[in-house]
Amino acid sequence: MTTASEIVKEAYREGNLVPLDATTGIPVTTAGQDTEGLTLLNRFISSLLGFELGEFALDWPVPPAQTSPIPARYPILPKGTQLSSDQWPYPPANVQVITSLAADVTIYLTQDPEDGARVGFSALDPASVFNLTIDGNGRLVKGALTTTDTPGNLSGQILFYRADLSDWQLVSTLTGTDVSPFPALYDDLLSVATFIRLAPRYGRSVSAETTATFNRLMKRLKSQYRQSMPEPSSDPNGFFLPASDMNRRGFNFGDGLG
C-alpha cells in the first residue's frame, strides 16, 4: 500500500523538481517540500468528494422528529405521521446522518452499497452521552462489523465505501505515513494531480504526457465511482418508505424533497 509521503515524493519527480537518491532511488525532498506537497494532496482528495467522486450528500435525520419547539408542521415529519421504529435507522448511501439522540441508537447501512458511496455525520447534540452504533449490514465499517461512538466524536466524519475491501473507510486528512484512500491503480493520479498544483509554484509547465495521464485516470475514477441515478417517484416522502425499500439501489433520494 502506498503512503501519502511516497505519493508526494513521486509528485516532485513527475516534474523533475527534485533528484533521485543515487543509492535508494527515492526522490530527495526537503521537510518543507513534503509538507507543501501533502497539503496539496489532501486538498485534491477533498475536492473530489461529491464532484468527480460520488454524489452530494442529502440530510438524513436520526431520529426523524420535529425540530420546532411548538407542534408546527415540518417537512420531514408531516402532521399526524407516526413512524414505526424500523423505518428510520436504515439510511441509504450518499446521505448526511444528523443525530439528535435521546437514547443509544443503532443504524444499519445499506446492504448493497455502490463503490464510492458515502455517508457523513453531524450532530445537533454534540455533547450527548448517548452512543450511535453504525452497523455495516454485511460490510465492514472502519475495518470492523460495527463501530460505536458519541455524536460529538462522529460529527464531521465521512465514510467512503471501498468495494474492493468491502469496507466503509473513514475519509480523513492524511499524514505522511497514512496510506492512500484509493486502490493502488490511482496512485499515479494522486501524484500527477499534486504535481499539477506544484508546477506553477516552481515556475514549471505541465507536459502533454502528464496531462494525458491525469485525464485518463480521472475518467477511470469517475467511471468506477459513479452512483446510480434514481428514477422519478411520486411518493410524498422518501424518509417514510419501508426499510427494505430504502436499501434498494434504486431508492429515490429526492422523494419529498423537491
Q: Is residue 166 part of a domain?
A: yes
> Where in the sequence is the domain holding 83, given as residue range(s)?
58-66+75-172
Provide the greatest CA pair distance for the chain.
Answer: 74
Q: Do 62 and 155 fall into the same domain?
A: yes
Would you state the cell numbers that stand for residue 48, as one nine-digit string? 473530489
Q: Do 9 and 96 fall into the same domain?
A: no
Q: Is residue 233 part of a domain?
A: no
Given a contact cutoff of 8 angstroms between Cβ atoms, the answer to whether 96 and 120 are in contact is yes
The span from the CA of 76 to the CA of 243, in Å, is 16
Q: Do 92 and 19 fall into the same domain?
A: no
Looking up residue 106, the CATH number of its domain turns out to be 2.60.120
Residue 70 burial class via C-beta count within 10 angstroms: exposed 0-12, middle 13-18, buried 19 and up: exposed
pTM exceeds cut of 0.85: no
Residues 6+ apart with CB under 8 A from 184: 1, 2
Q: Do 167 and 180 fall into the same domain?
A: no
**Total domain count for the chain?**
2
Q: Do 183 and 161 fall into the same domain?
A: no
Q: Do 148 and 62 fall into the same domain?
A: yes
Residue 84 burial class via C-beta count within 10 angstroms: exposed 0-12, middle 13-18, buried 19 and up: exposed
Q: Is residue 24 part of a domain?
A: yes
pLDDT at 179: 92
What is the residue-level pLDDT of the chain in tens, covering all 258 positions? 789 999 999 999 999 999 999 999 999 999 999 999 999 999 999 888 766 676 666 777 777 654 444 444 433 445 565 544 544 577 888 889 999 888 898 999 988 899 999 999 999 989 999 999 999 999 999 999 999 999 999 999 999 999 999 999 998 899 999 999 899 999 999 999 999 999 999 999 999 999 999 999 999 998 898 877 554 443 434 444 434 344 434 444 444 333
Q: Do 79 and 100 fall into the same domain?
A: yes
Q: Do 97 and 195 fall into the same domain?
A: no
Closest Cα to residue 161, out of 138, 178, 177? 138
